[in-house]
């Protein structure tokens, strides 16, 4: 799974370089999650998940508080969660998650991002069956063996635990996301370098030359869309 970790690092680096856009997207995601239930992460699992992710991107507390206060105030904005699936060149596959208050606008923009860059939008299920919903948690200060022992003692399952570049990466079913974090926090871990609920490709493809440029254009265009929250794909990134 080493390459998958590289993809996640690349994605984080890209987002870190566009902080204002990232913060705006997190603000919306926090607002929507807070409106799903109580605007309290202790009782709202969806909100707790997004707040854990926000910490790894250093989202300012002011943005988080503003989004939660807006939800508490009963904002009348209604957003839908949408998933699109599409294809790029040479077997590349893309999943796009969006939050939108205008489905027609978002559908048109996502479709254009594919078609204008040589890709095409697929039907629901045409791509997602080749991906696994996965919790990915990264931390420093412990070895892979130590993390494995901690999780075993807490009776928490992980799919894989890898150690790369002084970072331990835990891959697990998304249902284990909170349990893994709590088990590690009990042993003194206070910060996570990665805390993602993501879609990992079962098999990755390598692109080069014009195919890679075309694929990168699709991804860049999608990530620039205001309504798009997450973009997942099956292309190897070095």
pLDDT of 3 strictly over 60:
no
SS3 59: coil
SS3 234: coil
| Helix, strand, coil shares, percent, the chain, to 5 | 45, 25, 30
pLDDT of residue 132: 95
pLDDT digit string, tens, across residues 193-214: 889 889 999 999 999 999 999 9
Domain that holds residue 29: 2-72
Q: Is position 112 within any domain?
A: no
Q: Beta partners for 169?
A: 138, 162
pLDDT digit string, tens, across residues 63-77: 999 999 988 887 677
Q: By the 8 A CB rule, do 161 and 1 touch? A: no
Q: Is position 63 within any domain?
A: yes
Report the number of distinct structural domains present in the chain.
1
pLDDT of residue 171: 94
Tokens of 50: 């997004």
Find the range with the poorest average confidence among 17-21, 93-97, 176-180. Answer: 17-21
Q: Is position 86 within any domain?
A: no
Q: Is position 211 within any domain?
A: no
Q: How many residues does the chain have?
A: 238
Q: Is position 34 within any domain?
A: yes
Mean pLDDT computed over every residue of the chain:
89
Distance of alpha carbon 4 from alpha carbon 229, whole angstroms: 19
Q: Beta partners for 196?
A: 136
Counting beta carbons within 10 angstroms of the beta carbon of residue 182, is it exposed (0 to 12), middle (13 to 18) or buried (19 or more)? exposed
Tokens of 119: 């890709």
Strand order in the sheet with 120-121: 120-121, 80-87, 93-100, 228-233
Kindly give the residue spans of alpha helices, DSSP state H, lying in 83-188: 103-115, 144-153, 177-185
Q: Is position 169 within any domain?
A: no
Per-residue confidence band for 236, with pLDDT thresholds at 50, 70 and 90? confident
Q: Is position 9 within any domain?
A: yes
Counting beta carbons within 10 angstroms of the beta carbon of residue 204, is it exposed (0 to 12), middle (13 to 18) or buried (19 or more)? middle
Q: Is position 28 within any domain?
A: yes
pLDDT digit string, tens, across residues 119-155: 999 999 999 999 999 999 999 989 999 999 999 999 9
Q: What CATH number is attached to the domain comprising 39?
A: 1.10.10.200
């Amino acid at each position: 799974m080493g390459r998958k970790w590289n993809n996640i690092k690349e994605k984080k680096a890209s987002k870190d370089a566009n902080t204002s856009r990232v913060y705006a997207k997190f603000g919306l995601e926090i607002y929507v999650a807070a409106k799903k239930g109580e605007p309290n992460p202790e009782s709202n699992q969806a909100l707790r998940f997004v707040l854990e992710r926000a910490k790894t991107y250093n989202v300012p507390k002011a943005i988080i508080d503003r989004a939660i206060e807006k939800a508490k105030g009963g904002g009348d904005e209604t957003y839908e969660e949408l998933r699109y699936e599409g294809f790029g060149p040479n077997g590349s596959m893309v999943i796009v998650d969006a939050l939108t208050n205008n489905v027609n606008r978002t559908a048109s923009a996502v479709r254009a991002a594919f078609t204008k860059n040589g890709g095409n939008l697929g039907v629901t299920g045409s791509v997602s069956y080749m991906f696994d919903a996965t919790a990915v948690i990264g931390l420093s200060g412990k070895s892979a063996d130590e993390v494995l022992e901690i999780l075993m003692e807490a009776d928490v399952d992980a799919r894989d635990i890898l150690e790369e570049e002084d970072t331990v990466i835990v891959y697990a079913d998304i249902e284990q996301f909170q349990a893994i974090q709590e088990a590690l926090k009990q042993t003194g871990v206070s910060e996570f370098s990665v805390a993602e609920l993501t879609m990992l490709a079962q098999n990755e493809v390598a692109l080069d030359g014009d195919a890679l440029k075309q694929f990168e254009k699709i991804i860049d265009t999608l990530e620039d869309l205001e309504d798009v929250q997450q973009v997942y794909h099956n292309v190897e990134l070095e």
